[in-house]
Amino acid sequence: MTDISAAESAALADLDAIEANADSLADDDEDGPQDETIRAKWTIDGAATLAEAAVKAREFADHLQALHDGGYVLRQPVEDDYAFYFKPERVS
């Protein structure tokens, strides 16, 4: 296993905060599904090497996969770097 740099560690902490915020926002919705916004524009900002950029890009991809696995869907195709997503209500 390889050691991660301070920048990579900070990126992981930022990603954890984003995921926690997304979870809390989803839990607060009582009036039905509400859109959240996600952008990729700053995904690799701060990377000093291609390896760091690759790590940051993979972390963002993992975050998107976690949203998908958690039942979130896009409202419409991504346009101009803006993605609107929500968690549909379950029908019993």
Q: How far is 49 from 57, CA to CA, in rounded Å?
A: 12
Bridge partner list, 52 = none
Region 19-39: what's the mean pLDDT? 66
Give 32-49 pLDDT, tens digit per residue. 578 999 999 999 999 999
* pLDDT average, residue stretch 15-23: 58
The mean pLDDT value for 3-15 works out to: 65
Chain-centre distance of CA 36, in angstroms? Answer: 11
Q: Are strands 73-74 and 83-86 parallel, antiparallel or unpaired?
A: antiparallel
Beta-ladder partners of 82: 79
Render pLDDT for 34-90 as a digit per residue (tens, 0 to 9): 899 999 999 999 999 999 999 999 999 999 999 999 999 999 999 999 999 999 987
At 1, is the pLDDT very low, low, confident or very high (cuts 50, 70, 90)?
very low
Alpha helices in the chain (DSSP H): 6-28, 50-69
Q: Are 41 and 81 in contact (CB under 8 A)?
A: yes
Q: What's the confidence (pLDDT) of residue 90?
A: 77
Domain boundaries, the chain: 6-86
